[in-house]
Structure formats: structure tokens, C-alpha cells
Structure 1
Amino acid sequence: MSGTNVNGFLGGSPVRVIVQLVVLSLIVGFVLSYFDLTPLDLLDVIKRNIIRLWRTGFDALGEIGNWLLVGAVVVVPIFLVTRLFASRR
């Protein structure tokens, strides 16, 4: 990989990018330490939120399924009766 490819991939010179990453890491580390958070705490929060979102999504699908069944109890018989009368014409 030539120097220009590396610069293009990193978005700047490697030294500049390393300095930016070090400064950003220090700032993020300070903020996380201030709030007494560790990377494992953050991963745990993300995991719990994904699981909760997953369950909520399936609960919503279950609710939609209930609506579908309740609606079908009314709609399907009406559809069948109207089709039956339409076929007699």
C-alpha cells in the first residue's frame, strides 16, 4: 500500500490520525471515568437495550397478530357472505 493509499484510508497522515485518536481517547476516557463507567458497563447497557428492543418488537408483532385475528373474525365472514350473494347474480 503506498503512502497516498494509507492517507486516503485513514483520512490524513498516520501521525496526525494517531494524535487525533489519542486526544479523543483521553477525552472519552475522562468522561467515562467521571460517570464511573467502564467499557464493559457500556457493552452491558447496549446488550440489554438490544434484548429489550428485540422483545418489544416481537411483543408488537404479537399484538398485530391479535388485531389481525380479531379483524379476520369480522371481515372474513362478511367477505364470504358478499361473495356468496355476488355469485348468485
Structure 2
Amino acid sequence: MERLFGGPILPTLIKLAAASVVVGVLLAFFGIKPIDLWYDFLDTVVRIWHMGFDAIDWSVKYFALGAVVVVPIWLVVRLWTYLIEKK
């Protein structure tokens, strides 16, 4: 269990509690509420989720656009190479 906590359990818990109080006082001083942090976190997750799907949509669109040009050129080059090697 000490390995999980990074040292003796009781002193680690006391340090975590003290740090939590200090951070809580600082956040309260700046007017930040825990619920605001939670909502901001969820909004960030939702934005990242949407950005991920936007990135997929963007990449599929450009992949298809490039494939319309690249695949036929590749096919012609492969056929040409095959015909030349055949001779």
C-alpha cells in the first residue's frame, strides 16, 4: 500500500488534506466554485469529442479528394510498369 501512496500512508494523507485546504482557500479567494470546475471539465471533454469527429470528417473528405487523383495515377503507372517488364 505504501508503494501506491509513495510513502507511509498517514503522512501522505495528511499532506494531501493540507494541500487540498490550501488549494481550496486559493480557489475560493478567486471565486471559483467546485461545480464550475466540473462544468468546465465536462464542456472541455465535449469540445474535444466534437473536435475529434470534426477531424475525422476533415480527414475523410481530403482523403477522398486526394484518392480521386492519386489512385488512377498509381494504377496507370503500375499498368505501364507491368507492360514494360512483360516485353
CA distance in 2 between partners of 1:9 and 1:87 (Å): 62
Letter in 2 for 1:85: W
Letter in 1 for 2:59: I
CA distance in 2 between partners of 1:9 and 1:50 (Å): 28
Task: Let me know the Cα RMSD of the aligned residues.
Answer: 2.0
- Unpaired runs of at least 5, structure 2: none
Q: Give 1:77's match in structure 2, choosing from 68, 72, 77.
A: 72
1:82 aligns to what SS in structure 2?
A: helix
1:25 pairs with 2:17? no
TM-score, normalization: structure 1? 0.75
Equivalenced residues, count:
83
TM-score, normalization: structure 2? 0.76
- Percentage of matched positions with identical amino acids: 34
- Unpaired runs of at least 5, structure 1: none
CA distance in 1 between partners of 2:9 and 2:83 (Å): 81
